[in-house]
Structure 1
């Protein structure tokens, strides 16, 4: 695992955008795995500016998002589909037919999960996966547990994750309690992984994921077994790293 510690969130975001842009320059038809949440926003903003300066081209790129809230339609204001369109896709030249997210309002979850895995496989797998990390060490919505889902599946969100996500909703009651999430094995099959973490509240999770031990109680710790991972943190998130 390669660890990069940047001074602050802005520096982290710039470095992350350069790493993603480099991937698309080296392989214009890259398959990117993308994340949502607060941490990647700076990266997406930088990539949009790079696109406007004609420094990066997304016309041949295919993307798959990690997850989507179960029960929310693609057009729901708090869906991850809306997040991606408003914060990234609507501002670059990626064709709508080339970005994918799980269908949150599906009537057949089992079928939707299977189809999502099939689409990733048909695309040749993920070349470059961007991840965030939860305060409890989750990646995607693979929450700490005795066992973890291997492939895309419907998962129950922990009270801690629900509480963390409540800031995006008008009331706590509106926060989805489940999500469709890519599984651990699917993440681990990515050729390269970039994990981003910013802020002191992520420091303990980062310390645990790099501890030298692997446990399903800290899903991100499994990344220690991957052959090509970049851990990109700011000084606050990396303060407990030895």
Structure 2
């Protein structure tokens, strides 16, 4: 049984476990992609990474989606990590979904580009040329969306893509999820889509399982909307669904 509630403009769905949650999110994303394809003949999609996205991406691969009509972007990438590194988000997406579904086109954010400013400019131009029909994102343990950690999050950021310094909570999360052997190996900087870039998307699917995210989920839903919890801005978007499991929803009165 699914529990649903609304906080401001944000629609929240709470599922029994991460697998069922992943299928719920995949249904929502499939619907938005098919609506866009029916309306204009193609769709533009942003995908997220991290362990929180595993059940969703597995479910999305099973959906009857015409991937040859879909252009894919992603949220972020570590600076100075190549696409063969085990923690690379480009590698993650290729291994977990993109190689299997073969989209029409993929725009990767290259964190190891020789000229980072030029790379950010290239990606910014590509985003401006492609109105995003749906962004698939998560929420970090520190409340970030993409790599917009509290110290660098800006709801009025003039940029669509920027280079950021990761805060300690964010780097410790990457270590805790097993992407790096030691904290010293976790990069200190990353390229990320900004909050305005995410909020400009026509729809947003936000998948957040696991009890370790419970505080961030609570802050997103009930704290003052502000950069202390960057994800709180999602409450102002007209078409966002937040997908939770019992662990991440444990602090919510439902």
Instruction: Identify which range, 16-25 or 142-151, moves more after superposition.
Output: 142-151
Could you list the runs of 5+ residues in structure 2 that have no partner in the other structure?
Answer: 1-9
Matches within 5 A, 1:1-242: 1-28=10-37, 29-50=42-63, 55-95=64-104, 98-123=105-130, 125-145=131-151, 148=154, 149-150=157-158, 151-166=160-175, 167-211=178-222, 213-242=224-253
For the residues of structure 2 that align with 1:207 and 1:24, how far apart are their CA atoms? 29
Residues 29-51 of structure 1: CA deviation (Å, up to 9, x unaligned): 1111110001111111112223x
- Quick one: distance in 2 between partners of 1:24 and 1:100? 17
- SS of alignment partner, residue 214 of structure 1: coil
Aligned residues: 235
Residue 147 to residue 69, structure 1, CA distance change in 2 (3 Å): closer
- TM-aligned CA deviation for residue 80 of structure 1: 0.6
Distance 2:32 2:118 in 1: 32
Greater shift, 58-67 or 73-82, is seen at: 73-82
The runs of 4+ residues in structure 1 deviating greater than 6 Å are none
Shift of 1:82: 0.5
Q: Report the CA distance between 1:147 and its aligned residue.
A: 5.2
TM-score, L = length of structure 2: 0.88
- In 2, Cα distance between equivalents of 1:41 and 1:100: 21
Gaps of 5+ in 1: none
**SS state of the match for residue 99, structure 2?**
helix
